[in-house]
Amino acid sequence: MPLVEGGRIVEDRYRRIDDDAPIPDRVPVIVPAKRFLADADELVRRDGSLGVAWPNDRRVAELAPWLGHLALVALDFPKFRDGRAYSQARLLREHYGFRGTLRASGDVLRDQFHFLVRAGFDSFEVKKPADARVFADVLARYSVYYQPGADGRVPALRRRLQGAAVPNAREPV
Sign of CA dihedral 78, 44, 98, 57: positive
Beta bridge partners of 3: 10, 125
Residue 96 CA: distances (Å) to CA of 5, 53, 62, 134, 144? 22, 17, 11, 31, 27
171 binding another protein? (CB under 8 A): no
Q: Report in angstroms how near the CB of residue 44 gets to another protein at its nearest.
A: 25
133 binding another protein? (CB under 8 A): no
Member of 81, 169, 171, 172 binding another protein (CB under 8 A): 81
Member of 10, 21, 38, 157 binding another protein (CB under 8 A): 157
Residues 83 and 104: beta-carbon distance below 8 Å: no
Stretch that binds another protein, among 7-15, 16-24, 32-40, 142-150 (CB under 8 A): 142-150
Q: How far apart are CA 108 and CA 110, in angstroms?
A: 7
Residues near another protein, by CB under 8 A: 59, 80-84, 86-88, 90-91, 94-95, 109, 111-112, 114-119, 141-150, 155-161, 165-166
